[in-house]
Structure 1
Amino acid sequence: MITLAHISDVHLSPLPEIGLSDLLGKRFTGYLNWKLKRHDELNSETLARLVAHMQEQRADFTAVTGDLVNLALKDEMVRANKWLEALGDSERIAVCPGNHDAYVHGALSQAQESWGSYLKGETLEGQPFPFVRRIEDVAIVSCSSAVPMPPFVAAGRFEESQAARLARMLKLLGDAGYFRVVMIHHPPNAELQHPSFGLRGHRIFRQVIAEHGAEMILHGHTHRSSIHHIPGKDREVPVIGVAAASAAQGGTLDDPARYNLFRIERNGEGWNCMMREFGFQRLGNEIVMRMQMRIY
């Protein structure tokens, strides 16, 4: 049996010291949004309590589905690397980048350099994404939807070249009998698409899953706990989102901070997968198990 933890939208705070030269372009509007609203709703104390609770579970592997930073400043990237190191060894943690991790041109390359092996694995064609991590019978496939976008746009992009590599990976891993978990920051299901914050290329992504299958898809971005499904090769594939890991109680838009924990084990030629969601409620200050359900 493998236990897999899922956490997302860390949004490390507070922001580092910022000079006027740092606020050119999109970072200016992002900084205003942070100062006027987000700094009250995303905080480090909430994150620290949630992570401590998650670490007590001693998961075999942890999937982090993006948005570790806010404005993709260099000091934020360095801080995020230290946060990842405190979370655990890179052999047991994989990250897929979010739109805030690629907030401006060059930011994603900086994240790859700063976070090193947390953003690496087995790849095809020498391209960084998707990459694969394998732990016993489970294969975690990390895709990237993170691209810089204009101000007021938080959309992602999934292009055909990455789709072709994902298709090859899923076929190879499926033929080898792995439980395939696909990570992507932006949700790929049609219900959650919007021109300003959806996934451009979501149809291409769903086509790959429909043709080659997967056992589970994990995402972040929405700051909401959610379960949807998209068509797979042999059955529908669960698409599971999780609330932002730093979301304080009392926020106007977000669910309070939560993480998911999956217990995955082979059952003959099939799988058993039990999901438990832990986190804060709207009322009360304790972290509780909010839900338990069988995925397979």
Structure 2
Amino acid sequence: MINLAHISDIHLSPMPQVGWRDLLGKRITGYLNWKLKRHDELNSETLAALVRHLQAQKADFTAVTGDLVNLALPAEIERAGDWLNALGAADKVAVCPGNHDAYVPGALESAQKVWGEYLKGETLDDGDFPFVRRIGELAVISCSSAVPTRPFLAIGRFDEAQAERLGRILRVMGEADYFRTVLIHHPPNPELQHPSFGLKGHKLFREVIAEHGAELILHGHTHRSSIHSIPGNKGEVPVVGVAAASAAQGGTLDDPARYNLFRIERAGDGWTCTMREFGFQRLGTEIVMRLQMRIC
């Protein structure tokens, strides 16, 4: 049995000291959005409580599906590196980056340098993504949909080169009979696409899964708890999203902060996977188990 934890959309706060030179280009709109809407609804106290509860579960591995930062300022990227170190050792934690981690050109490259092994794993060639982490019979495959975009856009991108590499990885891991869990920040299912914040290449991603299969897909980005599915080569593949880990109770924009814990077990020639969702309710101050269900 393997226990896999999933947390996403960290959005570390408070915002570091910002000078006017820091707000050139897209960062000015992001900063205004933070000050006017987000700073009261995404907070460090909520995040700290959720992480303490997650760490008490002693999961075998933790997947972080992006948006550790807000404007990808150098100080934010450094602080996110410290947060990852506190979350767990790099051999037990993997990150797939989100659009806020690539907020402006060069930001993701800076994050890769600072976050180091959290954004690395086995690859089939010189491409950084997807990379693979193997934990027992579990293969965690981290893709990247993170690209810098114009103001007022939060789209992601999944291109042909990454699709080709993902297909080969899924084939190899499938032939070796691993439980293949794919991480991507932007949801790939058609129900959650939108011109301003969807995934460019979502059809291509689904084509790869339809051809090669996977056992589980995890994403963030929406700040909502969700369960969907997309076709695989041997049936439907669960697609699970999780609320933002720093989302305070009483917010008007998001579900309250939550994380998911998956219990993965071998069952004859196949697998069973049971999901438990932990987090805050709309009312009350305790973190509770909100949901338990078998998803495959």
Fold-level similarity (TM above 0.5)? yes
Task: Note the 1:19-58 alignment, pairs <5 A.
Answer: 19-58=19-58
Match of 2:246 in 1: 246
Match of 2:121 in 1: 121
Report the 3-state secondary structure (helix = DSSP H, G, I; strand = E; otherwise coil) of the residue aligned with 2:177. Answer: coil
Tell me the distance in 2 between the aligned counterparts of 1:201 and 1:175.
26
Match of 1:18 in 2: 18
Q: Where do 5+ consecutive residues of structure 1 fail to align?
A: none
Match of 2:140 in 1: 140
How far 1:249 moved relative to its partner?
A: 0.5
Tell me the distance in 1 between the aligned counterparts of 2:20 and 2:124.
41
Report the 3-state secondary structure (helix = DSSP H, G, I; strand = E; otherwise coil) of the residue aligned with 1:188. Answer: coil
How far 1:107 moved relative to its partner?
A: 0.3
Matched, 1:277 2:277: yes
Match of 1:168 in 2: 168
Match of 1:86 in 2: 86
Report the 3-state secondary structure (helix = DSSP H, G, I; strand = E; otherwise coil) of the residue aligned with 2:275. Answer: strand
- Residue type of the alignment partner of 2:265: E
Tell me the distance in 2 between the aligned counterparts of 1:30 and 1:285.
30
Match of 1:63 in 2: 63
How far 1:253 moved relative to its partner?
A: 1.4
- Residue type of the alignment partner of 1:208: V
Match of 2:190 in 1: 190
How far 1:13 moved relative to its partner?
A: 0.2
Report the 3-state secondary structure (helix = DSSP H, G, I; strand = E; otherwise coil) of the residue aligned with 2:232. Answer: coil
| Percent of pairs with identical residues | 75
Report the 3-state secondary structure (helix = DSSP H, G, I; strand = E; otherwise coil) of the residue aligned with 2:255. Answer: coil
Query: In the comparison of the two structures, how many residue pairs are matched?
Result: 296
Q: What per-residue deviation string (whole Å, max 9, x for no partner) do you get for residues 207-232 of structure 1?
A: 00000000000000000000000000
Q: Where do 5+ consecutive residues of structure 2 fail to align?
A: none
How far 1:125 moved relative to its partner?
A: 1.7
Match of 2:151 in 1: 151
Match of 1:3 in 2: 3
Tell me the distance in 2 between the aligned counterparts of 1:174 and 1:123.
15
Tell me the distance in 2 between the aligned counterparts of 1:17 and 1:39.
14
Runs of 4+ in 1 over 4 A off after TM superposition: none
How far 1:265 moved relative to its partner?
A: 1.0
Tell me the distance in 2 between the aligned counterparts of 1:87 and 1:48.
10
How far 1:268 moved relative to its partner?
A: 1.1
Tell me the distance in 2 between the aligned counterparts of 1:50 and 1:137.
27
How far 1:203 moved relative to its partner?
A: 0.3
Q: What per-residue deviation string (whole Å, max 9, x for no partner) do you get for residues 215-261 of structure 1?
A: 00000000000000000000100000000000001111100000000
- Residue type of the alignment partner of 1:63: A
Match of 1:105 in 2: 105
- Residue type of the alignment partner of 1:75: A
Tell me the distance in 1 between the aligned counterparts of 2:25 and 2:184.
26
Tell me the distance in 2 between the aligned counterparts of 1:136 and 1:235.
24
Please give the root-mean-square deviation of Cα atoms over the aligned residues, in Å: 0.4
TM-score by length of 2: 1.00
Tell me the distance in 2 between the aligned counterparts of 1:267 and 1:64.
27
Tell me the distance in 1 between the aligned counterparts of 2:142 and 2:125.
15
- Residue type of the alignment partner of 1:20: W
Report the 3-state secondary structure (helix = DSSP H, G, I; strand = E; otherwise coil) of the residue aligned with 1:195. Answer: coil
Q: What per-residue deviation string (whole Å, max 9, x for no partner) do you get for residues 103-159 of structure 1?
A: 000000001001000000001221100000000000000000000000000000000
Tell me the distance in 2 between the aligned counterparts of 1:94 and 1:47.
18
